[in-house]
């Protein structure tokens, strides 16, 4: 049963890692704009391929 102490300790540490990463995400303003990134990821990369017209509409 002593393993329980260890396991709970580990689970708490893992949870705290996630809490810290959440706080980091908030701090780095990832929640400020929840629209632009969703559009940005759909943009084609740098070079324009002339025949590629699928992106319209």
Partner 1 sequence: MKRKEVREKVSCFHCGDPCESEHVLFQEKDFCCHGCRSVYELLQACDLEDYYDYADNPGIKTLKAPASDRFAYLQDESIQTKLLSFKSENLAKVSLKLPAMHCASCIWLIENFRKLVPGVIESRVNFVKREAAFTYDPQIVSLRRLVEQLAAIGYEPELNLESTSQKKNHRGNFKLITQIGLAGFCFGNIMLLSFPEYLAIGEELTIQYRSFFGYLNFALALPVLIYSASDYLKSAWRAVVRRVINMDVPISMGILAIFLRSTYEIFFEGGGGYMDSLSALVFFLLVGKWFQQKTYDSLSFERDFKSYFPISVQKLDGEIEKSIGIEQIQPGDQFRVRSGELIPVDATLIEGDARIDYSFVSGESDAVKVQGGEALYAGGRQTGASIVLEATKSVDQSYLTGLWNSDGDQKEEHELESFADRVGKIFTYVILFIALSAGAFWMVFDPGLVLNAVSAVLIVACPCALALSFPFAYGNAIRLAGRKGLYLKNAAALGRMAEVSHIVFDKTGTLTRGSDSTVEIAEFELSPLDKAVAAAMASQSGHPLSRMIAKSLNAADQPLPEIVNFNEVKGKGLKAEFAGDRYRLGSADFSGACLAKEHPKNASTVCFSRNGETVAFFSIKKEYRSGLNGLISNLKKFYSVYLLSGDNDSEKERMQEVFGQRNGLLFNQLPHQKREFVAKLRRQGAITAMIGDGLNDAAALKESDLGISVADDVFRFAPASDAILSTDGFHHLPDFFNFSKEVLKTVRLSFALSFLYNGIGLFFAVQGILTPVIAAILMPISSITVVAFVTLRTTILYRNKFAQYSSG
**Applying CB under 8 A, which residues contact partner 1?**
1, 4-5, 8, 12, 15-16, 18-19, 22-23, 26-27, 31-36, 39-40, 42-44, 48, 53, 55-57
Q: Please work out, in degrees rounded to the nearest 5, the angle formed at the alpha carbon of residue 56 by the alpha carbons of 50 and 57.
A: 170
Structure tokens at 6: 């260890």
Which residue has tokens 């400020």? Answer: 32
CB of 17 to partner 1, least distance (A): 11
- Distances in Å between the alpha carbon of 37 and those of 31, 52, 55? 11, 23, 17
CB of 14 to partner 1, least distance (A): 11
CB of 42 to partner 1, least distance (A): 7
């Amino acid at each position: 049963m002593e393993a329980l102490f260890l396991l709970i300790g580990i689970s708490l540490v893992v949870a705290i890692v996630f809490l810290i990463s959440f706080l980091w995400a908030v701090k780095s303003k990832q929640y400020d704009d929840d629209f632009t990134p969703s559009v940005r990821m759909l943009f084609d990369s740098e070079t324009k391929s002339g025949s590629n017209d699928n992106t319209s509409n």
